[in-house]
Amino acid sequence: MKAVNKRNITVIAVIVFLAFLAIERTTQSEPEAVPAMEQQGSSKPASGAGKGQPAPAFTLQGVNGENYSVEGAREKAVLVNFWASWCEPCQQEAPALNALALKYKDVLDVYGINVTSQDYKPNAERFVKKYMLAFPVMYDLKGEIFDKYKGAVFPTNVLVDKNGVIAEVILGLLSPEELEKKIITLTGS
């Protein structure tokens, strides 16, 4: 039991450190780097997981057996939520995500992706039942999607517009009101 607690404390410390680094990097006043592809004058857009870039494509099977994809233009904007069952901010955020998914269902898809490579699947399954998640939930068993999106902390929310372009990457927990404002801006609702 003590080894598990030490491991959990270590994991939380690493996450806090990574979040600090991510925030520190975004607040520096250095000029924004331009991807090499754009510097060479290529008309092909750079891909990645940053604001203004095409959302990395993926397809995952939901717990309901249906496949869900993010790739290119779509009918609705999408909020991709990366979470883990042990993450307290994820637990705090779950009810608000449910409410927002239901309220904006006509203009927004919410996809919950458990980063199972950093979680324990039975705990994630209990999390889904406990919070009665009203949006599609998928398991990123090897953490490949989280890596594609350059995930660093839990929760990480990625707002993708209808054109398949990342509008914003939100690291950590926002208040329900702040998150709703960002959804309104994203969807024009």
pLDDT of residue 135: 97
- Residue 2 lies inside a defined structural domain of this protein: no
- Residue 24 lies inside a defined structural domain of this protein: no
- Residue 13 lies inside a defined structural domain of this protein: no
- Residue 7 lies inside a defined structural domain of this protein: no
Contact 159, 77 (CB under 8 A): yes
Task: pLDDT band for 178, please (50, 70, 90 cuts).
Answer: very high
Task: pLDDT band for 122, please (50, 70, 90 cuts).
Answer: very high
Number of structural domains the chain divides into: 1
Phi, psi of 111 (to 5 degrees): -115, 120
| Cis status of the peptide bond prior to 54, with omega within 30 of 0 | no
CATH number for 138: 3.40.30.10
Q: How open is the CA angle 150-92-168, to the nearest 5 degrees?
A: 35
Task: pLDDT band for 88, please (50, 70, 90 cuts).
Answer: very high
Q: Is the pLDDT of residue 3 over 90?
A: no
Q: Give residues with Cβ within 8 angstroms of 8, minimum separation 6.
A: 86
Average per-residue pLDDT for the chain: 84
pLDDT of residue 18: 61
pLDDT of residue 15: 73
Q: What is the mean predicted confidence (pLDDT) over 124-152?
A: 96
From the number of C-beta atoms within 10 Å of its C-beta (0-12, 13-18, 19+), residue 33 rates as exposed
- Residue 70 lies inside a defined structural domain of this protein: yes
Range of the domain at 66: 53-187
Alpha-carbon distance values, 136 to 13, 19, 92 (Å): 30, 26, 18
45-80 pLDDT tens trace = 334 578 999 999 999 999 999 999 999 999 999 999
pLDDT of residue 41: 32
- Residue 79 lies inside a defined structural domain of this protein: yes
Only one residue has tokens 């998150």, namely: 179
Task: pLDDT band for 167, please (50, 70, 90 cuts).
Answer: very high
Range of lowest pLDDT (8-22, 23-37, 76-90, 124-138) = 23-37
Pairing label, strands 108-114, 137-139: parallel
- Residue 65 lies inside a defined structural domain of this protein: yes
Q: What is the mean predicted confidence (pLDDT) over 18-33?
A: 46
Q: What is the dihedral of CA 85, 174, 144, 10, to 10 degrees?
A: -60
